[in-house]
Structure 1
Amino acid sequence: MKLHTLGEVPPGCRRRLLDHYGPAAEAWLRDAPFLLAEAAERWKLSLKSYHDAGHASAVALATTGDETPLILKAWYEPLRYRHETAALRTWTGGPTAGLAESADDLSVAALELVGGRPGGGDSGGCERQTVAAAIHGLHELARRRPQPDLPSLDGFRREVMLPRIRKRARSLDLGARRALVEETCAKLSSFREDATRGTVLHADLYRENVIFDGAGHPRLIDPHPLVGDAAFDWAFWTVYYDLDHEVTERLATAAGISRIPVPEITPWCRALAVDGFLYYVEIGDPAEPKIEKVLFSFLASDVEGAE
């Protein structure tokens, strides 16, 4: 039987996946419409349209037989599919998108459509406090359940983050900003994981990965999950949720809700900020001045705290 597809993936999806994965993604991009169609056929769903979003997957809207809307998501990387769906199962009932169906052979899953439309609904106000409560809720939920098979934060820090920071710090032309990077790198050994705070981390808490349901409650979507110290998620949210606004306020909120002292979150903030700064320099990202300012603010706060 011939599968009903939506045709080629949108140009934006194609461009983002090729930028992220390189030419190796070409063949998968040709196959993605058929993967989505096969999953829809298997689960008796009707495909409606693409939703042009994300950097690691192709996303489509679908409906069940009773017209319940769902999101169908096909991942390029089977490992990333397994990690994300494992985290979603651990967080079942929590403030994220519910996992309705999954197909390991296709690396495709059907997810709850949050807020009744792609991208979710409108924020209900008090965004900083409600998002922080959602992060804390996911952490607490995961602590009460069996730990899924996910990469460790310790392995990511030692094998991925620190080596790429040091490599870029050596190879990039940083000009007058080299002193800023060298000062930060000298402090990279100052943070330690606290095993008592171990949980399943979202580890990708950009604003685009926080959407709101019909009641204005936040849902944390598209995780890049790790297992480790909750301080990492709080630092990521502090630094990257909005480079222009409320960085200091988010840090204070993070410490207040998590009960993790600011001096134990700040070293992770510095590490994440310098990692992002060097990456933005490397690719010429227009957000480079913003992340540089954030990085400097964390170094300045250390100086002020020592006075």
Structure 2
Amino acid sequence: MAASPLGCVLPGARERLLAHYGPSASEWLDAAPSLLATVAERWKLALRSYHDAGHSSVVAVALDRQDTPVLLKAWFDPTRYRDEITALGVWAGGPTADVIETADDLSIAAMELVGGRPGGTARPEREVQMVAAVIHGLHTVGRKQARTMLPRLDDFLQRTMLPRIVDRTVKLDLGTRGWLVREALPEAHALRPSSARTTVLHADLYRENVIFDQRGLARLIDPHPMVGDAAYDWAFWTVHYDLGQATFQRMAIASRISGISVPELSAWCRAIALDGLLYYTEIGDPAEESAAEVLATLMAVGAEGAGSR
């Protein structure tokens, strides 16, 4: 493999990937600089710097032969690489980052650098409304290719999300929040995805995964894609886009644009907020407090009250 001018992976990126994947990622992280150098040589790119972001990949900025900056993204998990590239192919030409080159043998892609710099340009005033419109557009395209070979939401719910909720409920010391978790748990188990809303989901709609280009248009990046009910994306965005802030504003916008009723959408929100609370509790993240407040408010307001907020 080629020697890298970038040096070792940044400490922050290394820590995040080790926390996400465990010690098995250590050897790959040591090799990542050489892997990036190999594709840079293959694609005639000049490596410039790392970009310290993400929990599943190592990211670097490079220049092509026209001195245009591009983003290089190297995934530790080949399956995560294939899924993301597949989804970006479904959405090609839409409000995502364009894929320029792929190296399936190394699980690395060269991608458009949205906004000409890592993190994109400044966020506009009507950010929330613009992002909601983009999510709706992504779902519209995704419905036409819902047979794409990606993980299924139904499987994720039954094999991953619900089992981990139960496991964490049992093993964690929830203290005074135990009642809240017990109240929310039955409804999470009662979720039933609608096949009528099946589309390709982004499934990771944190605010950091929405950036803006030079025209001020929203682009959705770093999906963790699945195929399933659009309600999952809308609820995830409602809860996690700006945790603890303007939750019911986003819910109202999501309901209006998607056509999903507030009572149905709020049920998905409660399940996702529950999953988030237990995750933050397990890792000792300060976001635990906000997640608990969001879940408590969702539970207290209930399906009828949410629509009036």
- Residues 169-227 of structure 1, C-alpha deviations (whole Å, 9 max, x = no match): 11111122111110100212332111111011000000111111011111110000000
- Residues 84-126 of structure 1, C-alpha deviations (whole Å, 9 max, x = no match): 0000000001111111111110000011000111000012220
Residue aligning to 2:49 = 49
Question: Please, which moves more after superposition, 4-13 or 297-306?
Answer: 297-306
For the residues of structure 1 that align with 2:176 and 2:27, how far apart are their CA atoms?
43
State yes or no: 1:184 paired with 2:171.
no
For the residues of structure 2 that align with 1:274 and 1:108, how far apart are their CA atoms?
34
Residue 280 of structure 1 aligns with an amino acid whose one-letter code is Y
Structure 1 portions without partners, runs of 5+ = none
- Residues 44-73 of structure 1, C-alpha deviations (whole Å, 9 max, x = no match): 111111111111111000111011210000
- Residues 26-53 of structure 1, C-alpha deviations (whole Å, 9 max, x = no match): 1001110111111111111111111111
Counterparts in 2 of 1:157-306, with a 5 A limit?
Answer: 157-302=157-302, 305=305
Residues 121 and 214 of structure 1 are in contact (CA less than 8 Å); yes or no, is this contact kept in structure 2?
yes
State yes or no: 1:60 paired with 2:60.
yes
Residue 191 of structure 2 aligns with an amino acid whose one-letter code is F
Residue aligning to 1:90 = 90
Residue aligning to 2:80 = 80
Report the Cα offset of residue 241 of structure 1. 0.4
Report the Cα offset of residue 3 of structure 1. 4.1
Residue 262 of structure 1 aligns with an amino acid whose one-letter code is V
Report the Cα offset of residue 144 of structure 1. 2.5
Residue aligning to 1:133 = 133
Alpha-carbon distance change, 168 to 4 in structure 1, aligned in 2, over 3 angstroms: closer
What TM-score do the two structures reach when normalised by structure 1?
0.96
Residues 132 and 253 of structure 1 are in contact (CA less than 8 Å); yes or no, is this contact kept in structure 2?
yes
Residue 228 of structure 2 aligns with an amino acid whose one-letter code is G
Report the Cα offset of residue 83 of structure 1. 0.4
CA RMSD, aligned part only?
Answer: 1.5
Residues 172 and 282 of structure 1 are in contact (CA less than 8 Å); yes or no, is this contact kept in structure 2?
yes
- Residues 246-303 of structure 1, C-alpha deviations (whole Å, 9 max, x = no match): 1000000001111111112111111111111111111111111100010011111227
For the residues of structure 2 that align with 1:134 and 1:186, how far apart are their CA atoms?
32
Residue aligned with 1:58, SS: strand
For the residues of structure 1 that align with 2:260 and 2:45, how far apart are their CA atoms?
44
Residues 72 and 110 of structure 2 are in contact (CA less than 8 Å); yes or no, is this contact kept in structure 1?
yes
Alpha-carbon distance change, 252 to 2 in structure 1, aligned in 2, over 3 angstroms: closer
Aligned residues: 306
Residues 145 and 199 of structure 2 are in contact (CA less than 8 Å); yes or no, is this contact kept in structure 1?
no
Question: Please, which moves more after superposition, 100-109 or 8-17?
Answer: 8-17
For the residues of structure 1 that align with 2:130 and 2:2, how far apart are their CA atoms?
46
Report the Cα offset of residue 146 of structure 1. 6.2
For the residues of structure 2 that align with 1:13 and 1:53, how far apart are their CA atoms?
7
Counterparts in 2 of 1:93-132, with a 5 A limit?
Answer: 93-132=93-132
Structure 2 portions without partners, runs of 5+ = none
Residues 88 and 98 of structure 2 are in contact (CA less than 8 Å); yes or no, is this contact kept in structure 1?
yes
Residue aligning to 1:147 = 147
Residue 117 of structure 1 aligns with an amino acid whose one-letter code is R
For the residues of structure 2 that align with 1:145 and 1:235, how far apart are their CA atoms?
22
For the residues of structure 2 that align with 1:202 and 1:42, how far apart are their CA atoms?
30
Residue aligned with 2:92, SS: coil
Percent sequence identity is 58
State yes or no: 1:16 paired with 2:16.
yes
Residues 262 and 303 of structure 2 are in contact (CA less than 8 Å); yes or no, is this contact kept in structure 1?
no
Report the Cα offset of residue 304 of structure 1. 5.5
For the residues of structure 2 that align with 1:21 and 1:102, how far apart are their CA atoms?
23
For the residues of structure 2 that align with 1:2 and 1:157, how far apart are their CA atoms?
42
Residue aligned with 1:13, SS: helix
Residue aligned with 1:65, SS: coil
Runs of 4+ in 1 over 6 A off after TM superposition: none
